[in-house]
A and B are shown apart, each in its own frame.
Chain A
Amino acid sequence: MAMATQTEKGRQMSPFFQQIIGIAKVLLSIAATMLGLLFVTFFIGRVMPIDPVLSIVGERATKEVYDAAYIKLGLDKPLIVQFFKYVVDVVQGDFGQSLRTGFPVSDDIKRLFPATLELATLGTLIGVFVGVPLGVIAAVKRGSWIDQVARVVALIGYSMPVFWLGMIGLLVFYGQLGWIGGPGRLDIFYEDIIPTVTGMILIDSALAQDWGIFRNAISHIILPACLLGYYSLAYLSRMTRSFMLEQMSAEYVITARVKGLSEWAVIWKHAFGNIRVQLITVIALSYAGLLEGSVLTEIIFAWPGIGSYITTSLLSADMNAVMGGTVVVGLVFVLLNIFSDLLYKVFDPRAK
């Protein structure tokens, strides 16, 4: 639409073509990055010192059975052909069969991804709603006690091993105080009652209006979400603070103050308005980070998401699952990056 209006305005065709070329470039770079990603996972799958044939036919298979499986897997073909076949399969959404679960990897991922998404989204929300205001206040009241507190909070967040903090959290709030649900997404007797719509239990139970399950799900997700939220908060508050500091020393802020605007308007309307774009980029990055970085958190909390799927598959040498999971997480990561780039271009006129 933006392009159409531009040509209607009587501009020449060249900017239009430039935009098309720009879009083509972006698409090409996504494709190139994804191809590279696939190459790396393929390479990892190849150098893995595990014989994929043996893990299918078993150790006691005869030579004939072994050879048949070898040829069926296409392992006799040149590597480049195998890679090509792998890419074609992945593009069609076929990651092969998981040896551990016995299901197609794509089905496993479809089932598990919502759990990761639910956790990471909640974590990001906590990070944004606490971290951003904290960063703004720290920048405005620079050097005050609240700035120091924000600094210490962020430093601790950067330095704390997430799996350890999660364990201590479970020990205190679940083991000692009994305030929250333990590991997993629900208590065992609540499992499989509500129909799966989105795969995110909080949303599904709200849709089914089963508030008992909803409350139980909250009690399970609250600690891991706060944990991820804390890491997101540490990063976001620091970034917000430095963005805001940059704006607060700009001359338009002085102008706004001289005009007699209230401090509130200066900070939130003028300065904050200008950092929104940068902020969105950082939030997207941190969201992507939580989606991929929740591996350890998911393991500690026995959270059946993509991170724990990759790790447990890895430990049981289920390479199809590992490669599939890695590709999907990588794809999400790339897409979020590109999404934030696009937002930048849409909202920041200077970037055009």
Chain B
Amino acid sequence: MSETQSLRAWLLTETPTSRRHAKLSAIYHAWLSFRTNTMAMIGLIILVLLVVVAVVAPWLAPADPFAQTLANRLQPPGTDGHILGTDSLGRDLMSRLIYGSRITLYIVGLVALIAPITGLLVGTVAGYVGGFTDMVLMRITDIFLAFPRLVLALAFVAALGAGIENAVLAISLTAWPPYARMARAETLTIRSSDYISAIRLQGAGPLRIITKHIWPLCISSLIVRVTLDMAGIILAAAGLGFLGLGAQPPSPEWGAMISEGRRFILDHWWVATVPGLAIFTVSLAFNLLGDGLRDVLDPKDSEK
């Protein structure tokens, strides 16, 4: 038996020999069922490609994304040396697109860390402690939910000053409430279950119960939700960039690139079209991946 085959058998075993073994086996099973979902796999592949492109950007990009050649401005796609053409300052669009993937990943990554963790903290504490704390925390959550998201993000960016970090902060501030609600709902159902009482009788404190026994159970639905929200986050970031409140020029952020290209759209369509397609592709990939993950991780919610 070759090594890979024995590994596979080890992973697919019906009788795990250790906790780690069982966990890895469960993950492998989930992966196998995920792999059958073609659409989700397409999403995953696009995102892996995006990460690779972002990592190797300096080697991949044909030109410096900031190098201006005014003589070469607004060249259509296919001009030699510029596969996707050039923008109004003669910068190579392909290179800017490639470097822009780094900014997109940076924004998405940060928001995907800040918002769910904030929501998880607020939601589990509210759900576990209950009473007055719950009421206050949920009221605050409701207030943030009541706000129009983009308008709130706009106002925050305006107050904090335009820039990527502030855009991330503003988007996170508007993105956490749904996670808090979800985490609270999960906590409420878990809190009263027998095994939590058992752990409490063994002497576990609230901190241990929340971090070791409630959080792990909230994670899977949180991951699904985060993945599905990623597309919205990308679109919000691009929207802020488009309004001039996100990444500042000359940064090759995709939303800002669309905004730059907007002035020339009637005669030079590619300047705005190309980054728009990039945004669309990446958020579509996140949606496809999120759908697939939901089917695997959260069977009760899936539509199939």
Interface residues of A (CB under 8 A from B): 29, 32-33, 36-37, 39-41, 44, 47-49, 155-156, 158-165, 167-168, 170-171, 175, 241-242, 245, 292-293, 295-296, 299, 307, 310-311, 314-315, 317, 322, 325-326, 329-330, 333-334, 337
Segment 213-263 of B: residues with Cβ below 8 Å from A = 231-232, 235, 238-239, 242-244, 255, 258, 262
B151 CB contact (under 8 Å) in A162, A165, A326: A326
Nearest chain A residue, comparing its CB with the CB of B288? A155
State how many angstroms separate the Cβ of B276 from the closest Cβ of chain A: 4
A47 lies within 8 A of B143 (CB): no
Contacts of B231 in A (CB 8 A): 158-159
Of the listed stretches B15-23, B152-160, B190-198, chain A binds: B152-160
Given contact pairs A161-B238, A296-B150, A296-B242, enumerate 13 new A-B contacts (beta carbons under 8 Å).
A49-B161, A156-B284, A159-B231, A167-B258, A167-B265, A167-B272, A293-B148, A293-B150, A296-B239, A311-B154, A315-B243, A326-B155, A337-B146
B280 lies within 8 A of A160 (CB): yes
B287 lies within 8 A of A33 (CB): no
Nearest chain A residue, comparing its CB with the CB of B290? A158
B149 lies within 8 A of A292 (CB): yes
CB of B283 closer than 8 Å to a CB of A? yes
Contacts of A310 in B (CB 8 A): 151, 154
Given A293-B148, A295-B151, residue A164 in contact with residue B279 (CB < 8 A): yes
B148 lies within 8 A of A168 (CB): no
B155 lies within 8 A of A44 (CB): yes
Nearest chain B residue, comparing its CB with the CB of A171? B265
Interface size on B, residues (CB 8 A): 45
B276 lies within 8 A of A245 (CB): no
Contacts of A314 in B (CB 8 A): 154-155, 158
A164 CB contact (under 8 Å) in B143, B159, B280: B280
Docked complex Cα distance between A44 and B232 (Å): 24
CB of B110 closer than 8 Å to a CB of A? no
B158 lies within 8 A of A159 (CB): no
B146 lies within 8 A of A37 (CB): yes
State how many angstroms separate the Cβ of B247 from the closest Cβ of chain A: 15
Contacts of B269 in A (CB 8 A): 171
A326 lies within 8 A of B242 (CB): no
State how many angstroms separate the Cβ of B265 from the closest Cβ of chain A: 5
Docked complex Cα distance between A330 and B272 (Å): 32
State how many angstroms separate the Cβ of A236 from the closest Cβ of chain B: 15
A242 lies within 8 A of B303 (CB): yes
